[in-house]
Amino acid sequence: MRAITITEAGGPDVLTWAEVPDPEPGPGEVVIDIAASAVNRADLLQRQGYYPPPKGASPYPGLECSGVISALGADVTGWSVGDEVCALLTGGGYAEKVAVPAGQLLPVPDGVDLVDAAGLPEVACTVWSNVRQLARLDAGQTLLVHGGGSGIGTFAIQYGTAIGAQVLATARAAKHERLRELGAAATIDYSREDFVAAVREQTGGRGADVILDIIGGRYLAQNVDALADGGRLVIIGMQGGRKAELDIAKLLAKRGSVAATALRSRPADQKAAIVRGVRDEVWPLVAAGKIRPVIDRRLPMTDAAEAHRLVDSNAHLGKVLLVTG
């Protein structure tokens, strides 16, 4: 088979389409003939040498895919060769084939194109596990989503809206109209507006019950200021740096909490549990049309370098897909 390999840490041009050995399914695994994968910011970090794959994972980038099962390993039940699926991966999505634990498979939701389904597993698992499972967002509460135009952001806006939350989103002004169409009650131009003041205005001074943050250090103090009493801040990225000073007195006064999570490094049993939760709670919303994959564009897998440049520029809205066919 062929896959995108990383010849050395560096810019997009180190991504090379090359012949590599076919994967073999181990016990409890299936092999997927990949229709498409999606570009996530973690892939850019891996290419740059900052986010190496966990031990035993595929060396090729790609944290999700869609396709057709072509082989079953021992002890796999509930799936058959020929099933159309999408999958949460620890790596290997930028390829023609990938081996993946059966517990990380999801059926392609009703009404979703097979290729577009490649843009769902990573964002669905990230958003559900953080916003619902960890931060306990519920109907009537307020969710603030940073990076509303990203794949994570566009999914979180739809998910929060679908369960009855008020969703506020920060993004470039050019993306605001589309984010409101996805369900955002208000959009905030982070380059021109004080998002803390905007959140207070939109919530009658209460603040946000849950904040989903991809920025990290640079936003920590402001995020604490934007929390409601009992609010929960969940950090899933470090685009604004790794370190910041935390005013514990402010957090104590609000009885707030701060959590930070990563999905890729979790053990397979934890990922399987998250995938089950997504299938039970999120897939019915997708099938009902309340959540749809937001696809900026499809590019050939061989154009992975161009896709990385696009995602790095933040000019896209939603997911950039890499297609094998």
* pLDDT tens readout for residues 145-179: 999 999 999 999 999 999 999 999 999 999 999 99
pLDDT at site 153: 98
In the chain, pLDDT over 90 holds for what percent of residues?
99
Mark whether 129 and 248 lie in a shared domain: yes
Pairwise CA distance, residues 139 & 203, whole Å: 14
Assess contact for 88 and 66: CB atoms under 8 A: no
* Short-list 43, 3, 52, CA closest to 23: 3
Place of tokens 């934007």: 226
Residue 129 above 90 pLDDT?
yes
pLDDT at site 38: 98
Mark whether 129 and 255 lie in a shared domain: yes
Output the average pLDDT for the chain: 97
List the structure tokens of 233: 């801040």
Mark whether 111 and 196 lie in a shared domain: no
* Short-list 60, 1, 71, 5, CA closest to 32: 71
Pairwise CA distance, residues 243 & 304, whole Å: 31
pLDDT at site 109: 97
pLDDT band for position 211 (cuts 50, 70, 90):
very high
Pairwise CA distance, residues 37 & 222, whole Å: 35
Mark whether 161 and 205 lie in a shared domain: yes
* Structural domain harbouring 90: 2-120+265-323
pLDDT at site 36: 99
57-111 residue pLDDT tens: 999 999 999 999 999 999 999 999 999 999 999 999 999 999 999 999 999 999 9
Mark whether 249 and 315 lie in a shared domain: no
Residue 325 above 90 pLDDT?
no
Pairwise CA distance, residues 184 & 195, whole Å: 15
Last residue of a domain, one of 205, 235, 260: 260
| CATH number for the domain that contains residue 190 | 3.40.50.720
Q: Is 142 helix (H, G, I), strand (E, B) or coil?
A: strand
Mark whether 106 and 171 lie in a shared domain: no
Question: Strand locations in the chain, DSSP E?
Answer: 2-6, 15-19, 29-38, 64-72, 84-88, 97-101, 105-107, 142-145, 166-171, 186-189, 208-213, 227-235, 257-260, 295-300, 319-323
List the structure tokens of 157: 């806006």
Last residue of a domain, one of 244, 260, 276: 260
Place of tokens 């896709």: 307
Residue 53 burial class via C-beta count within 10 angstroms: exposed 0-12, middle 13-18, buried 19 and up: middle
pLDDT at site 223: 98
Q: Which residue type is seen at 28? A: G
In the chain, pLDDT over 70 holds for what percent of residues?
100
Mark whether 256 and 281 lie in a shared domain: no
pTM attached to this predicted model: 0.97
262-282 residue pLDDT tens: 999 999 999 999 999 999 999
Mark whether 231 and 309 lie in a shared domain: no
Pairwise CA distance, residues 75 & 236, whole Å: 34
Mark whether 237 and 131 lie in a shared domain: yes
Last residue of a domain, one of 230, 260, 290: 260
Instruction: Label residues 277-305 b or e (16+ Cβ within 10 Å = b).
Output: bbeeebbebbeeeebbbbbbebbebebbb
Mark whether 229 and 271 lie in a shared domain: no
Mark whether 108 and 138 lie in a shared domain: no
Mark whether 161 and 271 lie in a shared domain: no
| CATH number for the domain that contains residue 81 | 3.90.180.10
Pairwise CA distance, residues 145 & 136, whole Å: 15
List the structure tokens of 20: 């590599």
Q: How far apart are the first and last CA of the chain?
A: 13
Query: Alpha helix (H) ranges present in the chain?
Result: 41-47, 121-127, 151-162, 176-181, 195-202, 220-226, 248-254, 268-281, 283-287, 304-313
When divided into structural domains, the chain yields a total of 2
